[in-house]
Amino acid sequence: MSAISEVFSRCRRERRAAFIPFLTAGDPDLATTGELLHALARGGADLIELGVPFSDPIADGPVIQRASTRALASGTKLSGVLELVARERDRLGVPIVLFTYYNPIHAHGAERFAEQAAASGVDGVLCVDLPPDEGGELVPVLRKKGLDVIFLLAPTSTRDRVKRVDETSSGFVYYVSRTGVTGERTELPKELLKEARRLRRRLSLPLAVGFGISTPQQVEAVAKVADGVVVGSALVHLVEEKAGDDDLAAAVERRVRELTAPLK
């Protein structure tokens, strides 16, 4: 059983959903990201999604786009992100999923990426713009190195796509709560809870829901129908607001404690 699967098994025994925060690596710089990873873990993260900055993040809204721009401006590259994970993963005690686009992996080389990601302590990879039917080059080399491969489903996914994603993914399946891009929202989509409950019954893997979840109340609502809850833009926005402040890590930890409170 992978470290990611163990997280969901433990949370299932505890009768709660896993909390999965997201941050962009290198925002505002890699050293600070290292501190923030530990703040997430102290605050109650069960699993961490670490975004690899990319110049054309088509699935991300303005908040994460700006974070990618700042990270790239600070000199963050895929190799540096892997080095960061290698330094911090064992002390974290929390599995890490790299949230990336395919271009950085392709430029790095799929086999080289898989080898270095596994050696650094990465537990899983979610390649946002790579559908399962086009993952023929990447999926086998990741699996060979013991890495979980996570794919996305959306409200527009067909029955065939749901089946294909369930068969191809490992660790968990990520359900995008709305069409469009990431970003904080004041309300959850009207059909989200119904759709997530229906989808969960059709999957053999745990279901994590993300995109637009930003408050403790929304976390609580989604946790009733999903195995994991992902919060990204709300935390990235906080980093943007407090970058350079001495209490940035403490502020992130406090926010994660607030978001995870309904799951306790």
| Active-site annotation, residues | 49, 60
Q: Please give the torsion angle defined by the CA atoms of residues 170, 175, 180 and 182, in that order, rounded to the nearest 10 degrees.
A: -80
Neighbours of 71 (CB within 10 A): 26
The DSSP string of 154-216 is -TT--HHHHHHHHHH--S-EEEESSSS-----SS--TTHHHHHHHHHHH-SS-EEEESS--SH
Which stretches does DSSP call E strand in 40-196? Answer: 48-51, 96-100, 124-127, 148-150, 152-153, 173-176
Burial class of residue 198, CB neighbours in 10 A (0-12, 13-18, 19+): exposed
For tokens 């999923």, name the residue.
97
Phi, psi of 186 (to 5 degrees): -80, -25
Q: What pairs with residue 263 in β-bridges?
A: none
